[in-house]
Amino acid sequence: MATITIREALNQALREELTRDEKVFLMGEEVAAYQGAYKVTKGLLEEFGDKRVIDTPITELGFAGLGVGAAMVGLRPVVEFMTFNFSILATDQIVNSAAKMLYMSGGQYNIPIVFRGPGGSAFQVSSQHSQALESWYAYFPGLKVVMPSTAADAKGLLKSSIRDDDPVIFIEQERMYGNKGEVPDDPDFTIPLGVAEVKREGTDVTIVARSLMVPVALKAADALEKEGVSCEVIDPRTIRPLDIDTIVESVKKTNRIVLAEESHPICSVNAEISAEIMERAFDHLDAPVKRVSGADVPMPYAKNLEQLAVPDVQQIISAVREVAYLD
């Protein structure tokens, strides 16, 4: 086990998969000569050459579609969006081509492609560069959506995503690249898609959190433990397919649940999880499902306003206290 950053873990995953399979190539804006806008692709051009690590023009729709076409003829592209905000330009190719090709072709053309890059809230870049888009992509059958929260998950899930035969939306958190964690050294270390992890066991309240909200939820759980409230923190890690069984099992034990996410509340992933809980665990609930979401506003620039827009430890603590009827 080595302790490395999420950035380094992703870099290792890319290096190992590029080494393992000639069909894997990496393309995107500034991924090669510039070494990646967030340095996730550092050193890869030097090691693998410009055939396999390719700088693209700023042409998101074009290179996303090119990647899907390359996947149709047997390659395994990893397409980096400098940030997922720019994937909005490529949505036609992600949704109408990548997600639907296997179905429309009656099972003939699967699309083994990974679209990856940072998403979620960033620091003080205002509305167009700071947003959570996972619920968009999770909506579409045919796509898989992955959001790691630790260095080990980042590595293991990215390797699985690259080896997967379907299109995977892999959203890294822009604020978390420097977070450190232990990562197994085994080059064949992978984490299967669609399997949640209990990040902390507890008995009183279940907290479901993903991406940036995982460390926030863990901090809240630490604080609540001192008050005598035992929280179980579950990270689904994959949004689609969603491991709802692990969440339901936890609710059956704790009878209370808080759902935390950075994204806007309307039509969000937590809205979906909430509905699933109603359908599958209603009789086990001792309190209504409580959601903690990003503010329902475009992200502001001013530091104080931005802090108000992203859920924090205190909001999660309050939500837990609410479902535990402690206030």
Partner 1 sequence: MSKQAAEPISRAGAEEKSATGVIEAPPDRANLTKEKAAAKERQKDKLSGLDSDTLIHLYRQMLLIRRFEEKAAEAYSSGKIGGFCHLYIGQEAVAVGAISAIRTDDYVLTSYREHGHAIAKGMSCDAIMAELFGKVTGCSKGKGGSMHMFDKRVNFLGGHAIVGGQIPLATGTAFGSKYQGTDQVTLCFFGEAAVNQGAFHESLNMAQLWKLPCIYICENNQYGMGTSLERAMSLRDIAQKACAYEIASEFVDGMDVLAVRESVLRAVERARKNYLPTLLEVRTYRFMGHSMSDPGNYRTRAEIEKYQERDPIKLFSATLREEKVADDALLERLDKEVREEVEHAVRFADESPEPPPEDLYTDIYATPINSSRAK
Instruction: Give residues in contact with partner 1 (CB under 8 A).
Output: 25, 51, 56-57, 59, 61-75, 92-93, 96-97, 101-110, 112, 141-142, 144, 164-166, 194-195, 238, 241-246, 276
Interior/surface letters 148-158, b for 16+ CB within 10 angstroms, e for the rest: bbbbbbbbbbb
- Quote the CA–CA distance of 85 and 136 in Å, as a whole number: 12
User: Which of the following is catalytic: 8, 29, 129, 272?
Assistant: 129
Residue 77 vs 294, nearer CB to partner 1: 77
Reading the block at residue 239, the tokens are 């949004």
**Which one, of 141, 191, 196, 139, lies nearest residue 161 by Cα?**
191
- Quote the CA–CA distance of 96 and 313 in Å, as a whole number: 38
Strands 114-119 and 76-80: parallel
* Least distance from partner 1 to the Cβ atom of residue 198, Å: 14
Residue 242 vs 317, nearer CB to partner 1: 242
What one-character DSSP code corresponds to residue 40?
T
* Least distance from partner 1 to the Cβ atom of residue 160, Å: 9
Active site residue 80: no
DSSP output for 233-297:
EEE-SEEETT-HHHHHHHHHHHS-EEEE-SS-STT-HHHHHHHHHHHHHGGG-SS--EEE---SS
Residue 137 vs 177, nearer CB to partner 1: 137
* Least distance from partner 1 to the Cβ atom of residue 71, Å: 7
User: Which of the following is catalytic: 16, 60, 80, 261?
Assistant: 60
Residue 196 vs 207, nearer CB to partner 1: 196
Active site residue 60: yes
In this structure, the number of other CB atoms found within 10 A of the CB of residue 1 comes to: 10
* Least distance from partner 1 to the Cβ atom of residue 107, Å: 4
Q: Indicate which residues carry an active-site annotation.
A: 60, 129
